[in-house]
Structure formats: C-alpha cells, structure tokens
Amino acid sequence: MPTIKRTVHRPWQVQRKPQEGRQHSNTKFYLSPQWRKLRAMKLELQPLCEECLRNDKHTTAKVADHITPINRGGAPLDIENLQSLCNRCHNIKSAQERTR
C-alpha cells in the first residue's frame, strides 16, 4: 500500500527554496535573454552534435556548450566559442573539465 509523504514544519529550521544552494556560479548569466537567444541561434545553425559528427554519428544537439569555459576566460556571448553537443557528449566534456 502506498504511503503519503507528510511534511513537518520545524520552526527552528531555516526555510529554503528547493534549488537554493545548488546553483552554478553562472546561473544568472544562463537565465539572461542574451544567452537564450544566442543558444537558440547556435542550435538552429548546427542542430547536430559536433562531437558525434566527428565520430560519424548523427545525434541531435540539445546543449550549446562553451568550448573555453567562462570560468576559465572564455567569451560568454561569442558564437565562435560555442559548440552544439548532445547531452551525453556534454556530460563527458563537463566531467573531464572538472578533473582538470
């Protein structure tokens, strides 16, 4: 039989929003209209994953990724610093960047 999850109000604990504390340092930038327009333009110009194309695969791109990350000096709104990637390739690239 399924159980119903009950929320308990604890007045001594600070109330937080669901995503508070887990935001990326560039969250404000990625929510900006300038970024959203540039991302849409990049994915329209190159709808296939560029990494998969190098390996002779045809996968739909879902992410406009900065080639040189913003945190490492990459230009945030330069279309030349963007590449279209599928989720898998983006996750692999991001994991490799974290270990550097």
3-state helix, strand, coil in the chain (%, to 5): 40, 10, 50
List, for residues 2-15, the tens digit of each pLDDT value.
777 777 777 887 77
Q: State pTM to two decimals.
A: 0.74
List, for residues 42-85, the tens digit of each pLDDT value.
999 999 999 999 999 999 999 999 999 998 899 999 999 999 99
At residue 85, the pLDDT reads: 98
Q: Which residues contact 93 (CB under 8 A, 6 or more apart)?
A: 51, 65, 85
Radius of gyration over every alpha carbon of the chain, rounded to an integer in angstroms = 19
Instruction: Place 23 in a pLDDT band, splitting at 50, 70 and 90.
Output: low
Q: How far lies 81's CA from each of 5, 21, 22, 56, 58, in Å? A: 46, 28, 26, 23, 22
**In the predicted model, what is the mean pLDDT of the chain?**
89
